[in-house]
Chain A
């Protein structure tokens, strides 16, 4: 290795959005505390007993608000989740049956849960390629899916990687300027190669009059070459909303999206995404179908190689049957478990931090890593950044005497963020989800250990999405479901709690 000192950029300085209010209480809790104190004081004017009568229920109400898990969920949220799960199980809603023999209208195999109202249409982009558009009617969102084949950073010089990463940042910054964009997710899916690709590449092209020796060698190659390789697919799904109060026709929205696709693609290519292309509606349906039923992945490839396509429609992309349990989700031929990120990598990391997590993991049938992004529009981000700066300054100067180290670093971080924002960077909220699919229930334990190792290597902390496996599973599909939109209380209010 060369002895010259090279500085490589590190990344970090991500923070959880600050909750307003006192400490872990949140806004509601803080109001509750002050209101409670006032009420208790007023009651104490009557008698001490009255004060106790007022104080105890308020305290009982407030304490669960103040007790929070590592990722900031309070006791009420945990309880709500459990109650919801119990009720769903009691009603048999954790089961899903589709197809002609089920009660589903039309007898189709529709994708379940969050995806069941989604409908797929198709548009044509500037190069006349078909691209699929998924429409989520309840919130009136439209999703397009792009695919790309990154080369990875294995044989590339660090400075080239740094350029790519910087351009990925540009692409993210661009998202906040995309009109109507609600969220984006990048999904990296790995799976063992079904081993039919080589045969499809080689055998159909052998000419009938080919020399016998050439035919023998090629057939031996197809037979003998290991199929122990893995395939990796990268999908980028972008979900657009229609601004409130506007009535827009579906065709207009699709035309609008078609115009944006080339620019989005070129940005992906520049960010090291390799060749990028939009996915047709049929391809999106295939991806979802294979995710729900991993056993058909080879058949899908065969059909694509021999007939040029599967002809699969979105309405048939779901599983025939699925069972949700506390810690797993069984669907057709696979059993899956999904994890959600609680802590982003602490400290500073290199751009290769996710590499171990993205690469194919042995012992899994399919693995999907989904990075979800919620762009924040420029006006809001400027406000947030300034507010963070002010609160950091306030925290640092409010303590008497010595400034705490933590407060000082908080100031530095807030200042750096403000500088970056002022010089043109956007602000984005991101999170990470990971779904692992295996063949049987008993392999799930091993897969969980694998995932624990992977997350440790990537320095992120994740928790299994217990009691909501089905919903979390559909969030890691390239179907444009935004996890923060699926909460009981809208996420704008959520932050206040």
Chain B
């Protein structure tokens, strides 16, 4: 076989080459002809999200697939920040749908809007409503974990029982923290722990413990509980030790949280459902304590379900299922009381992270700044630092600077994302102006350059999010805005009338509000 091709017709023999001109340079200059100046493309592993803003290539990604298959991230978690109304829930909904198609169970724990209930319904999942008169959660109910522990039995069952105990204790402590507005003391925690142990031993199987039972035990004061208070046989000392706790528990029962947390759980999470959404949209916006408590209870319950499912899978009783939890409006409970950060920290660390991807969603990092103590602020930032994927929708420049300190953003990324948070024009032409950043996100993973994407929504999703004003013409939005405006004015008027100040001219619905096309 000759070099340079076979001889003869059809042999494809090539001639000698006049080579391209070779140029000579030192390597510190020749490297200026940098061959990697154009990007190679975008990750194609996971749920298809949208198109790359610059190249138009389809970008796929979600925390679970990027953790298990692509190995881009070291833990399957996502943290999303962005101004309201830019489509954060649309992107998360897409991930829920895509993951559910591959057999992952989405758990939306605490849906305030509701943004996800429709999606979960469409997926044939379970939607649990919580709120005054809608449904409650019994925080002492060991739930799926308790059931799983009973089923597994043996040593593994005991381990799971202990874990369940920790979870319940953490949740009650969180409720007390919310009511008090400050963290619980350590000795109170040990009292509470002793009470719960006592109750668990005394309760016949098949019956759940309720919060009033805890009060009963505190009043009785069995030896086990007395022992941790160091009462030395003196009843007065015992009462001194447990009274603050007693008061706080009474505050929960008779206060704003009572009817939601004092009775039996109205609907338990079905661990076999294809998707679960705990809808807390029935709780009013202003009801911060109840919102925070309901969210925490939902998180605790949902994560407990995940732990139970995995414990069952470990013992070979059930097939392994993966979960994807959505924790929306992360800062709501954080702001409810100081010390809650620790509770959330404990909650998210208590879960066995195997097979659980989670998405934490919030508006801005400023929410973390609003926390009272430095330690809390640092921990809250830790949520962002620990996240495998950070997704930013439009954020103002100052916010991006702050975020850049935590996740490392380049100047260009900051410019790009802050340009998405700029408002739309006034839209004189008549068609509704969209905010420039709607549906645009920057995905950051570790120190890699971010991936800017634009989410394109499908018709099927559009039908699904019918309530979602985001993708429908904006008459509804205007209506809603008017309603809010009116109720706001009404509230102002009422307040002013109460205070005996000047009533604002043009009452609710009066001519003063102008002729809105309602």
A residues contacting B by CB (< 8 A) are 2, 9-17, 71-73, 77, 80-81, 84-85, 88, 91-98, 102-105, 112-114, 116-117, 138, 148-157, 160-161, 164-166, 168-170, 172-173, 176, 186, 188, 193, 197-198, 201-202, 205-207, 209-218, 220-222, 224-226, 228-234, 271-274, 322, 324, 340-345, 349-355, 358-360, 369, 371-374, 376, 384, 417, 420-421, 425-433, 465, 467-468, 470-472, 474-475, 483-484, 486-488, 491
| A13-B25 contact, Cβ under 8 Å, with A156-B449, A234-B40 | yes
- What are the nearest 7 A-B pairs in CB distance? A11-B32, A152-B39, A96-B12, A92-B9, A169-B31, A229-B57, A112-B12
Report chain A residues within 8 Å CB of B11: 92-93, 95-96, 103
Judged by a CB distance under 8 angstroms, whether B38 is at the interface is yes
Judged by a CB distance under 8 angstroms, whether B16 is at the interface is yes
Q: B17 and A232: CB pair below 8 A?
A: no
Report chain B residues within 8 Å CB of A138: 3
Query: Could you say which of B17, B33, B412 contacts A371, with CB atoms under 8 Å apart?
Result: B33
Report chain B residues within 8 Å CB of A229: 41, 51-52, 55-58
Q: A475 and B17: CB pair below 8 A?
A: yes
Contact with A along B12-24 (1 / 0, CB 8 A): 1111111111111
Q: B13 and A88: CB pair below 8 A?
A: yes
Q: B21 and A16: CB pair below 8 A?
A: yes
Judged by a CB distance under 8 angstroms, whether B101 is at the interface is yes
Report chain A residues within 8 Å CB of B40: 148-152, 232-234, 274
Q: B55 and A221: CB pair below 8 A?
A: no
Report chain B residues within 8 Å CB of A15: 23-25
| A211-B56 contact, Cβ under 8 Å, with A151-B40, A232-B38 | no
Q: A202 and B48: CB pair below 8 A?
A: yes
Q: B58 and A103: CB pair below 8 A?
A: no
Query: Could you say which of A94, A429, A484 contacts B23, with CB atoms under 8 Å apart?
Result: A429
Query: Could you say which of B4, B32, B416, B460 contacts A216, with CB atoms under 8 Å apart?
Result: B460
Q: A430 and B25: CB pair below 8 A?
A: yes
Query: Could you say which of B17, B25, B37 contacts A354, with CB atoms under 8 Å apart?
Result: B37
The interface centre, meaning the residue of A154, A351, A372, A468 with most chain B CB atoms within 10 A of its CB, is A154
Please measure, in the bound complex, the distance between the C-alpha atom of A169 and the C-alpha atom of B460, giving whole angstroms: 51
Query: Could you say which of B19, B25, B452 contacts A155, with CB atoms under 8 Å apart?
Result: B452
The interface centre, meaning the residue of A206, A213, A349, A373 with most chain B CB atoms within 10 A of its CB, is A213
Judged by a CB distance under 8 angstroms, whether B34 is at the interface is yes
Q: A371 and B35: CB pair below 8 A?
A: yes
Q: A211 and B45: CB pair below 8 A?
A: no
Please measure, in the bound complex, the distance between the C-alpha atom of A371 and the C-alpha atom of B57, giving whole angstroms: 25
Q: B9's closest neighbor in chain A, by CB?
A: A92
Q: Please give the distance in Å from A1's CB to the nearest CB on chain B.
A: 8
Q: A165 and B31: CB pair below 8 A?
A: yes
Q: A207 and B102: CB pair below 8 A?
A: yes
Q: Please give the distance in Å from A69's CB to the nearest CB on chain B.
A: 10
Q: A205's closest neighbor in chain B, by CB?
A: B102
Judged by a CB distance under 8 angstroms, whether B373 is at the interface is no
Q: A201 and B21: CB pair below 8 A?
A: no
Q: A372 and B16: CB pair below 8 A?
A: no
Q: A150 and B21: CB pair below 8 A?
A: no
Q: 20 A-B pairs, CB-CB below 8 angstroms?
A: A15-B23, A71-B21, A88-B13, A88-B14, A88-B15, A91-B13, A93-B5, A93-B9, A102-B10, A113-B5, A169-B31, A201-B48, A209-B103, A324-B14, A352-B37, A354-B33, A371-B33, A420-B28, A483-B19, A491-B19
Q: A214 and B123: CB pair below 8 A?
A: yes
Please measure, in the bound complex, the distance between the C-alpha atom of A384 and the C-alpha atom of B6, giving whole angstroms: 40
Please measure, in the bound complex, the distance between the C-alpha atom of A170 and the C-alpha atom of B235, giving whole angstroms: 78
Q: Please give the distance in Å from A354's CB to the nearest CB on chain B.
A: 6
The interface centre, meaning the residue of B35, B98, B125 with most chain A CB atoms within 10 A of its CB, is B35
Report chain B residues within 8 Å CB of A474: 14
Q: A342 and B97: CB pair below 8 A?
A: no
Q: A234 and B35: CB pair below 8 A?
A: yes
Q: B52's closest neighbor in chain A, by CB?
A: A229
Please measure, in the bound complex, the distance between the C-alpha atom of A433 and the C-alpha atom of B19, giving whole angstroms: 10
Please measure, in the bound complex, the distance between the C-alpha atom of A122 and the C-alpha atom of B35, giving whole angstroms: 27
Please measure, in the bound complex, the distance between the C-alpha atom of A331 and the C-alpha atom of B39, giving whole angstroms: 29
Please measure, in the bound complex, the distance between the C-alpha atom of A271 and the C-alpha atom of B36, giving whole angstroms: 8
| A220-B458 contact, Cβ under 8 Å, with A188-B35, A271-B36 | yes
Please measure, in the bound complex, the distance between the C-alpha atom of A225 and the C-alpha atom of B461, giving whole angstroms: 14
| A84-B15 contact, Cβ under 8 Å, with A210-B100, A211-B122, A354-B33 | yes
Q: A470 and B29: CB pair below 8 A?
A: no
Query: Could you say which of B23, B36, B52 contacts A164, with CB atoms under 8 Å apart?
Result: B36
Query: Could you say which of A104, A205, A465 contacts B6, with CB atoms under 8 Å apart?
Result: A104
Q: A421's closest neighbor in chain B, by CB?
A: B26
Q: A116 and B48: CB pair below 8 A?
A: no
Q: What band does the interface of chain B fall in when counting residues whose beta carbon is under 8 Å from A?
A: 35 or more
Report chain B residues within 8 Å CB of A16: 21-24
Judged by a CB distance under 8 angstroms, whether B410 is at the interface is yes
Q: B38 and A152: CB pair below 8 A?
A: yes
Query: Could you say which of B27, B37, B101 contacts A358, with CB atoms under 8 Å apart?
Result: B37
Please measure, in the bound complex, the distance between the C-alpha atom of A489 and the C-alpha atom of B19, giving whole angstroms: 11
Q: B3's closest neighbor in chain A, by CB?
A: A138
| A169-B28 contact, Cβ under 8 Å, with A342-B21, A484-B19, A488-B16 | yes
Report chain B residues within 8 Å CB of A84: 15-16
Judged by a CB distance under 8 angstroms, whether B413 is at the interface is yes
Report chain A residues within 8 Å CB of B9: 91-93, 95
Please measure, in the bound complex, the distance between the C-alpha atom of A152 and the C-alpha atom of B53, giving whole angstroms: 14
Report chain A residues within 8 Å CB of B459: 220
| A224-B458 contact, Cβ under 8 Å, with A165-B34, A193-B57, A210-B101 | yes
Report chain A residues within 8 Å CB of B411: 2, 157
Q: B11's closest neighbor in chain A, by CB?
A: A93
Q: B17 and A471: CB pair below 8 A?
A: yes
Judged by a CB distance under 8 angstroms, whether B258 is at the interface is no
Q: Please give the distance in Å from A155's CB to the nearest CB on chain B.
A: 5
| A420-B26 contact, Cβ under 8 Å, with A96-B12, A215-B101, A470-B14 | yes
Q: B14 and A232: CB pair below 8 A?
A: no
Q: Please give the distance in Å from B16's CB to the nearest CB on chain A.
A: 4
Report chain B residues within 8 Å CB of A81: 15-16, 18
Please measure, in the bound complex, the distance between the C-alpha atom of A173 and the C-alpha atom of B149, giving whole angstroms: 63
Please give 8 more A-B residue pairs, beta carbons under 8 A apart, in addition to A84-B15, A193-B57, A232-B39: A149-B41, A150-B38, A202-B48, A213-B122, A225-B58, A429-B22, A430-B22, A487-B19
Please measure, in the bound complex, the distance between the C-alpha atom of A358 and the C-alpha atom of B34, giving whole angstroms: 10
Q: A77 and B30: CB pair below 8 A?
A: no
Report chain A residues within 8 Å CB of B22: 16-17, 374, 429-431, 484
Query: Could you say which of A103, A201, A206, A340 contacts B8, with CB atoms under 8 Å apart?
Result: A103
Report chain B residues within 8 Å CB of A344: 23, 33
Q: B17 and A207: CB pair below 8 A?
A: no
Query: Could you say which of B15, B19, B31 contacts A172, with CB atoms under 8 Å apart?
Result: B31
Judged by a CB distance under 8 angstroms, whether B456 is at the interface is yes
Report chain A residues within 8 Å CB of B3: 114, 116-117, 138
Q: A353 and B33: CB pair below 8 A?
A: yes
Q: Please give the distance in Å from B362's CB to the nearest CB on chain A.
A: 23
| A113-B26 contact, Cβ under 8 Å, with A138-B3, A213-B122 | no
Q: A483 and B39: CB pair below 8 A?
A: no
Report chain A residues within 8 Å CB of B19: 340, 431, 483-484, 486-487, 491
Query: Could you say which of B4, B33, B39, B274 contacts A11, with CB atoms under 8 Å apart?
Result: B33
Query: Could you say which of A225, A351, A483 contacts B17, with CB atoms under 8 Å apart?
Result: A483
Judged by a CB distance under 8 angstroms, whether B256 is at the interface is no
Q: A218 and B20: CB pair below 8 A?
A: no
Q: A358 and B274: CB pair below 8 A?
A: no
Q: B20 and A342: CB pair below 8 A?
A: yes
Q: B50's closest neighbor in chain A, by CB?
A: A225
Report chain A residues within 8 Å CB of B55: 229-230, 360
Q: Please give the distance in Å from A465's CB to the nearest CB on chain B.
A: 8
Please measure, in the bound complex, the distance between the C-alpha atom of A197 and the C-alpha atom of B60, giving whole angstroms: 11
Q: Please give the distance in Å from A256's CB to the nearest CB on chain B.
A: 24
Q: B16 and A431: CB pair below 8 A?
A: no
